Amino acid sequence: MDAKRKAAGEITLLLAAVREGDRSALDRIFDRLYAELKKLARSQLRYGRTAASLDTSALVHEVYLKLVRAESLSLADRSHFFALAAKAMRQILIGHADSLRRQKRGGGAVLLPLDEELVAPALWQAEQLVAVDVALAELERLAPRLARIVELRFFVGMNETEIGTLLEQSERTVRRDWRKARAFLHVELERQGLGG
């Protein structure tokens, strides 16, 4: 048995332990998948979609805290774990974007004159991220599988091959679903006045 298969088997056993209520198994899962989670976080943060206060370690640690605090975790498999991690990353990134928007709108702070050119790009990214979240929530309601692909692609930064492997779908299916999801999001963003 090669090392990759052995590691996958360990993760499967740990996920079963989490399902049975062993919360310490989640610690061991994060230990074993930390490098992969950091890679995903690094990919996401490289595109500047969050407030500057997050780095890869902070994003992974916030995902860990979010999952540890969950009352129950029913993790079916590795794919489900990464989908849950992607959803947690999405929620964290949206939270940071909302925080940035509140800060821009005052948030109870004393207003100081700022150069709009310095603030506008970061705010635009926050506004766009929140708009994508609203559109994605609608897509999730209508087509959960497409929404999952968007989460993994947009919020985690995975490519079609990686998503296909994770979701056990052909690359062709992922590519087709990605096109459908993008078309839906494009229409939704235009409806919100952010299309282009």
Domain boundaries along the sequence of the chain = 3-191
Per-residue pLDDT of the chain (196 residues; tens, 9 = 90+): 576 677 667 888 888 888 888 888 889 999 988 888 887 777 666 655 444 567 788 888 888 888 888 777 777 777 778 778 877 887 887 787 777 666 655 444 443 333 344 344 444 466 777 777 888 889 999 999 999 898 888 776 678 998 888 888 999 999 999 999 999 988 988 887 775 5
Number of Cβ within a 10 Å radius of residue 27: 14
Using alpha carbons only, give the angle 96, 80, 48 rounded to the nearest 5 degrees. Answer: 25
Enumerate residues 6+ apart whose C-beta is below 8 A from 40. 82, 85, 86, 89, 156, 157, 158
Cα(123)–Cα(118) distance, rounded to whole angstroms? 9
